[in-house]
Amino acid sequence: MKITCGSRTVDLSGPKIMGVLNVTPDSFFDGGKHYQSSAQQSLTLDSAIRSAEQMVAQGAAFVDVGGESTRPGASPVSVQQECDRVLPVVEALAARVDAVISVDTSTPLVMVESSKLGAGLINDVRALEREGALSAAISTELPICLMHMQGSPRSMQDNPAYDQVVDDVKVYLSQRIACVQKAAAGLGKPAPQIILDPGFGFGKTDEHNLALLRGLPLLLKPGVPLLVGLSRKSMIGRLLGRNVENRLPGSLALAMLAVQNGARIVRVHDVAETLDVIKILELTLIGEQVNGA
């Protein structure tokens, strides 16, 4: 299975890594390392580029650039702020790095402008539910990652509840695919390639997250790759009693399980380490192939 991300194609017959590049002032791990206030814009742009180049050198097939913190309780960003944070980075990276630049956004203008600057994938934790996002994303003709979230970042961890978490997520994502297809037809545009993501930690208890990890194979649809983001998430902190600096082993174990259960894109902070784990998994499964063709 291949996806076409603007000028690049990515072969997803095996698992691929997406490196996380935060350009927010309050990123929960890097403390806003790559955030650009206008005063130090070029300095931080430089450090963001270096980080992305390192992730690509380590084997990331995608670099996911995000300018909105979706941390519970994080302050909302204006469209202008998000554009200021994200667009210069997307432009610089698309011109320089040998990887697909993904843009982690729910904001229609950011989707459209990023695509003009060379982004190759739209990653929306709100699954294009924001007003104007469906048509904006479809107009770019880029692949779209639709993620499940219950509630909004502000309140999603208050009291997440499901009937059957795996079924509920599956139904929601299927409905979002149908919405995208219908909207594309209405706009006279090709139906975009879709990637699905159960949204670990987005309105889920630890039990919900673990049920989704076990049930990941049930979310597989022919021709629709699964993406997972588990790297350094607070679930690892709670399950193992680890602060955010000490979640790498837990993250690696979860990445391996996710790929075994069908994930084709793993969104991570630690590219080199995750790739080692995935290579071992692939070598172990030679002749069997990781999750079929």
Interface residues with ligand 7PM (CB under 6 A) are 20, 27-28, 69-71, 104, 123, 125, 145, 147, 197, 199-200, 227, 229, 233, 267
Of 198 and 286, which CB lies nearer to ligand 7PM in the complex structure?
Answer: 198
Of 172 and 200, which CB lies nearer to ligand 7PM in the complex structure?
Answer: 200
Q: How far is the CB of 199 from ligand 7PM (least distance, A)?
A: 6
C-alpha 173/C-alpha 127 separation (Å) is: 8
Q: How far is the CB of 68 from ligand 7PM (least distance, A)?
A: 9
Q: How far is the CB of 19 from ligand 7PM (least distance, A)?
A: 11
| Catalytic site includes residue 189 | no
Question: What is the CB-side half-sphere exposure of residue 78 using CA atoms within 13 A?
Answer: 3
Cβ contact 72:159 at 8 Å: no
| Catalytic site includes residue 267 | yes
List, as one string, the DSSP characters of 207-266.
HHHHHHHHTGGGG-BTTB-BEEE-TT-HHHHHHHT--GGG-HHHHHHHHHHHHHTT-SEE
Q: How far is the CB of 18 from ligand 7PM (least distance, A)?
A: 8
C-alpha 26/C-alpha 68 separation (Å) is: 9
Q: Which is nearest to 273 in space by CA: 253, 288, 243? A: 253
Helices 248-260 and 271-284, axial angle in degrees (round to 10): 40
Residue 210 — φ and ψ, nearest 5°? Answer: -70, -40
List, as one string, the DSSP characters of 77-146.
PPHHHHHHHHHHHHHHHHHH-SSEEEEE---HHHHHHHHHTT--EEEETTTT-STTHHHHHHHHT--EEE
- Selecting among 176, 233, 247, 264, the annotated active-site residue is 233
Report CA Rg, the chain: 18
Q: How far is the CB of 130 from ligand 7PM (least distance, A)?
A: 15
Q: Looking at residue 70, what DSSP letter applies?
A: -
Name the residue whose CB lies closest to ligand 7PM: 229
Q: How far is the CB of 98 from ligand 7PM (least distance, A)?
A: 22
C-alpha 83/C-alpha 67 separation (Å) is: 8
- The set of catalytic residues is 233, 267
